[in-house]
Amino acid sequence: MFLSLLSAVHLGCIHAGWLCSSDCEASELLKRFQRGMAMVMRMMSGSSYSARPFARLCAVVDARAQFSTAAVSSVTTTTVSKSVTLPVGHGNVVAHASGRMTDTTGANGDPTFLESVDIYFDKAAAIAATTPDILAQIKACNNILKVQFPLKCANGTVELIEAYRAQHSHHRLPVKGGIRMAPNVDADETMALAALMTFKCAVVDVPFGGAKGGIKIDPTKYSANEKEAIIRRYTSELVRKNFIGPSIDVPAPDYGTGPQEMAWIKDTFEHLQPNDINGSACVTGKPLEEGGIDGRQEATGLGVYFCLREFLNDEALVAKLGLTTGIKGKTFIVQGFGNVGRHTIDSIYGAGGKIIAIAEVDGGLVAECEDGIDIPGLKAYYKKKGTITGYPGAKTVKFAQGILELPCDVLIPAALETQIHSGNAGNIKAKIVAEAANGPVTPLAETMLEDNDVVILPDLLLNAGGVTVSYFEWLKNLNHIHFGRMSRRMEERGKTALIDALENQFGNGHRFSDEVRSQVVKGNTEVDFVWSGLEETMLLSWENVKRTSQGRNCNYRTAAYLIAIERIATCYRVSGIFP
């Protein structure tokens, strides 16, 4: 019992962050200890925890402790420093580094989102072929910018707006990451999302560092003019601090933002930096009319589909779950009907998958027939009503969270982080959890799911379709020409000549039908290039993650982190560290 208590205290202290910092003030140490002990008491009392996940997480934490203490002793200048100056070319901004700026415990006693990312990183770092000093640099968030500015509202009042931009890693430039608008935005969340962007880009071999931004508002409570004013002022603050630019930091859409907000960012940047000939590359996810790329809207959802398709087509992998190969006939539950969820659903439905339930923030739908929900009908209803609730082709449920616990083959959380936690993981009945969202599963939930033989396909891979196509858009903007413009007609002439030659070879008046001729001759459009490049990226990345998982005897998430860590470490070894 004493040893169990000692292990629990050890976990509580690690969870509180003792081994991640060496210069805490006494009051901060006391506060963290109290928080860690609160977690210990919950664990010892048995609430929400089972013995096996707790024991397995202790093993992860022990590995984390070994890495963290080694890192602190090896490179105290990296881990102890509380501030860091941006690299040369990034101005004179001094911003907070890896020290946490808020102190909130996650739901159900789980680690917070930022702590979850740290735990996942440390689990992979413990078995990575990388030295502790480089690991500490890879893990640290280089810069976090907080800005506050006034907004003159439509009713004449003035409101203080709070916003953030985190640049996690400058091992590759520019850094890349979305901007979200949500009332729960804070520094910790922004740093966690920026870290995920670093690792996500590395997993799919996109040459960017990671970044993320957030504006702490509920966008539904502001008029279009007010949102435009907020976005333009936020962009101007980023320009002033040298936190945006085609070669510095390139934002993109995220939760609560879309093509319109990106167009405002582009326009503001180009007005403030009129001499930058590549100004349109300062942001991606723009409307087509403003230099966007065809296929960006569906990119993240399509990336999720490509990875799911490859996993489900692997006979050896699905046989372990008692499933047959292929998407057709499988049952799917999706949380979220936004950009990611909707396009994921489209692709799965088109491949013959059955969407048996959808959860949204204002309610959910459960299919009432064996074939699942009619997605074309639902999309038409959603376009008209702006909500999925009340759709007559399925049963509407008021509290959508319980939908995640319904039986299905594949559960796809495509909304916000920490949606599957220690409080509901034990009730998940899916065979596969496919993380279309960022960080939807907490570490405690992961151990509980794996103890129930649930396979988790990680966000670092599945969610990377968006940044992959953002990379293509960035390249398009730098080249100042859309994909296919120089080659499409040449391809069509060559294919036409081939068809003519085949018809002459066959003789006897043989001629291909107009339909066949049209299909064969058609040259590649921009969206053809985009989808082909995305599919190639996702398939190669999945094979790499699968091979690493099998070779290193770890789950897919740890394999993805290992790939990211070792690629970033290689970058540091080859390029060196300035100065």
The per-residue pLDDT for range 450-488, each reduced to its tens digit, is 999 999 999 999 999 999 999 999 999 999 999 888 888
What are the pLDDT digits (tens) for 41-78? 444 344 333 444 444 444 444 444 444 444 333 333 22
Mean predicted confidence (pLDDT) in 343-360: 96
CA 249, CA 447: separation in Å to the nearest integer?
36
Tokens matching residue 15:
């969870």
Tokens matching residue 474:
């960035």
* pLDDT tier for residue 25 given thresholds of 50, 70 and 90: very low
Q: Where are the alpha helices (DSSP H) in 46-131?
A: 51-74, 76-79, 113-125
Instruction: Name which of 27-41, 130-144, 253-267, 524-538 the model is least confident about.
Output: 27-41
CB atoms within 10 A of CB 488: 17
CB atoms within 10 A of CB 28: 16
Considering only CA atoms, which of 432, 393, 396 is closest in space to residue 411?
432
Q: What is the pLDDT of residue 524?
A: 85
CA 208, CA 101: separation in Å to the nearest integer?
25
If one compares 83 and 289, the residue with the highest pLDDT of the two is: 289
Q: What CATH number was assigned to the domain covering residues 141-290?
A: 3.40.50.10860
What are the pLDDT digits (tens) for 415-457? 989 999 999 999 999 999 999 999 999 999 999 999 999 999 9
Any idea which residue has 């799965």 for tokens? Answer: 348
**Residues forming CATH 3.40.50.720 domain(s) in the chain:** 299-465
Q: Environment class of residue 129 by beta-carbon count within 10 Å: exposed (0-12), middle (13-18) or buried (19+)?
A: exposed
Q: Is the pLDDT of residue 89 over 60?
A: no
Q: What is the pLDDT of residue 107?
A: 56
Q: Is the pLDDT of residue 87 over 70?
A: no
Helix (H) or strand (E) holding 197: helix 187-203
CB atoms within 10 A of CB 166: 30
The gap from C-alpha 507 to its chain's centroid, in whole angstroms, comes to: 56
Fold of 299-465: Rossmann fold (3.40.50)
Q: What is the pLDDT of residue 510?
A: 79
Q: Is the pLDDT of residue 105 over 90?
A: no
Q: Is the pLDDT of residue 401 over 90?
A: no
Mean predicted confidence (pLDDT) in 276-293: 97
**Residues forming CATH 3.40.50.10860 domain(s) in the chain:** 141-290
| 81 φ/ψ angles, rounded to the nearest 5 degrees | -55, 135
Over pLDDT 70: what percentage of the chain?
A: 81
Considering only CA atoms, which of 430, 454, 446 is closest in space to residue 356?
430
Q: What is the pLDDT of residue 10?
A: 41
If one compares 94 and 564, the residue with the highest pLDDT of the two is: 564
Over pLDDT 90: what percentage of the chain?
A: 71
Q: What is the pLDDT of residue 304?
A: 98
List residues with catalytic annotation.
Answer: 212
What distance, in Å, lies between the first and last C-alpha atoms of the chain?
52
**pTM, to two decimals:** 0.81
Q: What is the pLDDT of residue 358?
A: 96
Q: What is the pLDDT of residue 76?
A: 30
Would you mind telling me the total number of residues written for the chain in this entry? 579
What are the pLDDT digits (tens) for 131-182? 999 999 999 999 999 999 999 998 999 999 999 999 999 999 999 999 999 9
- Mean pLDDT estimate for the chain: 84
